[in-house]
Structure 1
Amino acid sequence: MSKRLKILLGVAIIFCFTTFLLAVRSYSKSSWQNWQTEFFKAQITQLEKELANTKGEEEGSLLKQEIKEWQDKKPTIQEIRLSDGSIERCTTCHLGIEEISKSHPSEMGCTVCHGGNAQSVDKKTAHEGMYGEGYPGKLDVARLSCGGGTSAAGQCHSGNKHALDNQVDLMMTSLMAGKGGELSMTRYMYGLDIPPHILLKPGEAANDYASPFDHRPEEAKFQQNCLSVCHQSEGKLPGLEVQSNGCSSCHVLSNSKHTYEGQDVTISKEKAGYGKTHQLTVQIPYTQCNQCHNQGEYKLYTLDFIPRADLERVNSSPSPHDESLETRWQNVYSPGLVFTKCEVNLDCIDCHTRKEVMGNGEMYVSEWDALQLQCQDCHGTKDSQPKEWKITDKSDIAWAEARINPNFPQLKIDDIILNTIKGEELPYVRLKNNQWYSYRKTNGEKFLIPQVMDSNCLQKPDEQSAEDCHKCHDVSKDKPSSGGSK
């Protein structure tokens, strides 16, 4: 071997050895170890609080043993082995993260929804390529995250054979995503257009179009207050920046401050922009909808936002287990609006159906056109009963909907469910012993649905709008008592 070659070989060995030492040094100082230590401390603190309130000797002994186990723990690399044999190490830092749902088990991994580098334990490299900058529910990345375009297991909520399984694609056509109805109706109110002339294409948002206030002082307010909030990316509520938008707006429950309350110590509990926990749900209470739809109102001609006078009380609404009909009556709607008793008993998602909220592939220009459910769908009329739908096949979309909500009674072949006039099956509204019942989506509470036929109702069969029903059944004229829950 020549002298020059020996020198080059020596330099290469020194370089490799130095690189190895730097890697070991970097590994020994990695922040993941600090995060795990912080998580251990948090568990110990929580257990010590439980121990202080424990009177039983046996239970106290078990808690002390558990505390000792956490005190003896040492940081270690955490790995999740996926069904395809690959490995993810995200939980090395996010050790206390909650499993997002039963239908999204940890075996699916993290990067299928979040993107990023699954095998790195360095924050910078691990987070490179994350969808939506860490918020995968954003509509501009939803086809990659919720759609599952990169999933080893195949498609999730986009690109499937059956259109109704493609919730992400359908969502792009909903008024919640594009706010096309808001744009068209604002133009209409100012005499600039009639609604049918404003049509959005799937995936477009109303703020992609010229403002009705072009070249007027109110234009900036219109863009900020009317077109850039709620379910579009970078939405803002008055005085509070909200990052958890898009799909997360509904399916990740949040408190009024949008702060995290879970076990993952890497997520700040002071910074706004997170759900209460790292969990998805289809059981969405009205208090979640309130965070966008019940904060106040805008002045029509100036577009100044006027918060509700009782906003603090609404934002701290009692939990569903502690509230009464009286508190729901106060909190569900803004003061001055009218509603019926069933609208107060139920939650928003019990009347605003799947197709209405998440879209059905059609592009609508107004909320009225998109509306799927009417009073007569559930209550019938003086001369007609609600439309029935018989379950004959497990491939029925209603079968899948009932399965993902554990609050519903098990759906069986030959069960009769409601089919709306517009043709949407509602698995939570069922016919039993010739009586119709509705099951609240959030907790499964069962309600008997009174029928118009053979009742003392004076409504004419051709007068079936909600406005017609409100003439007699307006709760504002008959305030519910504070006692009872129905």
Structure 2
Amino acid sequence: MAQWIRGWGQRGWAAPAGVCLCLFLLLTACGQSAPTGEKCLNCHEGIEEISAAHPMESFACVTCHGGNPQATEAEAAHAGMRGGRNPSDLAVLDAACNCHNGLAETGQDHIHRVRTSLQTTYAGAIAQVAFAFGAQPDPTARYGMLAVTDDNITTATGQPALELFRPGPDDSPMLHRFADNCLFCHVGGEPLAQPYFYRSTGCAACHMVYDNDGLYKGGDPTIDPAEPGHAREHRFTTAIPFTQCNHCHNRGNYSLAQMEFLPRPDLPDDRPLTDLERRELEYYQPIAQFTLCEWKLDCIDCHTNGEVMGDGDIHSSKLEVQYNQCQTCHGTPDALPLLTTIDSVDHPAIRSANLNPNYEVRVGDTVIATTRGETFGWVLWDGQRLWLTKKVDGMVYEVPLALGTACQQKPDEQASQYCHECHAYQRTVAPLP
């Protein structure tokens, strides 16, 4: 169906001068200067630079982490650290990540968007369960994992506020079981301390990759490489593999009868498997259908920034947020997908590409546009064909178009389940019984 054709290096990528200017402006806006005499690396020598957007020569460790940069004893040096070892935890975001607490108009409202997103509030699941057990009159969101407000509603389904979810003494015992057993899969929740579930919280829940074993593979000598519960490396990334999403999203299901989490019994075992075989086993749930592109690509190749991090509004259901469909890239039998031409170096598509090492976007490029004004900068139209560059590893696919094919799908049947009727991919590697 799709075809591997070339690696990202053939297009090339280099950080433009705008990235350097951006770093200067960020440091100025945050009131930070380059580190002077910081002693953190006396112990943490060999630790990885967190990202190219936070260079060690410009950002002191304490800029994000807090603590005492002049101390040489661990207890004194770590006193006052923000969020323990994770300064991106929701509880300390305003202090540690204030550079990302700006206005929506300038694309710097990341903290507000994350706090109000369904990934953080869990408002959709809470609303459905509270409605089912009589704690509220309808499934509109009223409660979240934290109390949040939004005084700039921009969508028809946005809500003005959420109260903190805390079942009362008169609420159903099932609602209490839900609160006790089913709330660890949100951005602020502490994950299960076991293989496949290891991850961080806050921004790092997505942007810091954890291997399934939870073991550190980096160069910091203070981190025990045999101790689970650590990120793979001390690095932020926008090249987020599907395995990171799966730490929450594909590890099992909830039993509504018992209000308990039921882990998947079919996760990859210790058999020798190729990367693709292991990917196939881990990606699929037996009850689900996927097309070949949904298996070969990664979650971030289809889900947009607004779908994942939120659009700044408070929503009651993921159905209000997740809107892209197969036709977003493949079009319909009658028409090409929506396209737009990048007309400014300040376009969000260019800003996003500058933070990812595996693809680039230039002024004049024509790329996929969505029905809500977002762009797939990694899907390029060359005038005749569409090319998708995977954001995780830079591999490139040609995107098959429905236009001009024998596809019989009706214009009003564009939801993915209709495509799955013909294009569902069957698992070829069987899990152990």
Short-chain TM bin:
0.7 to 0.9
Is 1:95 the equivalent of 2:95?
no
Q: Name the structure 2 match of 1:465.
A: 415
Shift of 1:96: 2.2
> Does the 8 A contact of 2:149 with 2:162 survive in 1?
no
Structure 2 counterpart of 1:355, one-letter code? G
Instruction: Select which of 311, 323, 327 maps to 2:275.
Output: 323
Normalised by the length of structure 1, the TM-score is 0.72
Aligned to 2:339: 388
Output aligned runs, 1:2-151, within 5 Å.
83-84=33-34, 86-107=36-57, 108-145=59-96, 147=97, 149=98
Match of 1:454 among 398, 404, 407: 404
Please give the residue correspondences for 1:355-374 in structure 2 after superposition, counting only pairs within 5 Å: 355-374=306-325
Deviates more, 1:204-213 or 1:295-304: 204-213
Compute the displacement of 1:442 (Å): 0.5
Alignment partner, residue 202 of structure 2:
246
Q: Which amino acid aligns with 1:368?
A: L
Q: What whole-Å deviation, never above 9, does each CA across 1:100-154 have from its counterpart, x for those lacking one?
A: 1222111211011111111211222211211112211211112222x2x3xxxxx
Amino acid at match of 1:296: G
Query: Residue 184 of structure 1: CA displacement?
Result: 1.8
Distance (whole Å) between structure 2 residues aligned to residue 173 and residue 352 of structure 1: 18
Residues 1:231 and 2:187 are matched in the alignment: yes
Structure 1 contact 289–348 (Cα < 8 Å) conserved? yes
Query: Which structure has more helix as a fraction of its residues?
Result: 1
Distance 2:268 2:181 in 1: 21
Paired amino acid for 1:99: E
Equivalent of 1:284 in 211, 236, 240: 240
Residue 193 of structure 1 and its aligned partner are, at CA, apart by 4.1
Q: Which has the higher contact order (CA 8 A, sep 6+)?
A: 2
CA distance in 2, matches of 1:256, 1:356: 25
Match for residue 181 of structure 1? 124
Letter of the 1:175 partner, please give it. Answer: L
Pick aligned residue for 2:395 from 417, 426, 445: 445
- CA 1:350/1:376 → structure 2, altered by over 3 Å: closer, same or farther? same
In structure 2, the gaps of 5 or more residues are 1-31, 151-160
8 Å Cα contact 2:193-2:229 kept in structure 1: no
Structure 1 position 311, deviation (Å): 2.7
Q: Is the 8 A contact 1:393 1:413 kept in 2?
A: yes
- Amino acid of the structure 2 residue aligned with 1:425: T
2:356 maps to 1:397: no
Identity %: 34
Classify 1:369/1:85 alpha carbon distance in 2 versus 1 (closer, same or farther; 3 Å). Answer: closer
SS in 1 for 2:262: strand
> Distance in 2 between the 1:222 and 1:190 partners?
11
Determine if contact 2:195/2:212 at 8 Å carries over to the other structure.
no
Task: Determine the structure 2 residue equivalent to 1:159.
Answer: 102
Cα RMSD of the aligned pairs, angstroms, is 2.9
Larger mean Cα displacement after TM superposition, 213-222 or 114-123: 213-222
Mapped to 2, the partners of 1:116 and 1:327 lie a distance apart of 41
Corresponding residue number in structure 2 for 1:222: 178
Secondary structure (helix, strand or coil) at the match of 1:365 reads coil
> Judging changes above 3 Å, is the alpha-carbon distance between structure 1 residues 449 and 212 closer, same or farther for their aligned structure 2 residues?
farther
Of 270-279 and 173-182, the range deviating more from structure 2: 270-279
Contact 1:230–1:249 (Cα < 8 Å) also in 2 = no
Larger radius of gyration: 1
Aligned positions, number: 385
Is the partner of 2:421 in helix, strand or coil? Answer: helix
Q: C-alpha distance in 2, partners of 1:333/1:391?
A: 36
Q: Offset of 1:367 from its aligned partner?
A: 0.9
Any conservation in 1 of the 2:388–2:396 contact (CA below 8 Å)?
yes
Structure 2 residue aligned with 1:426: 376
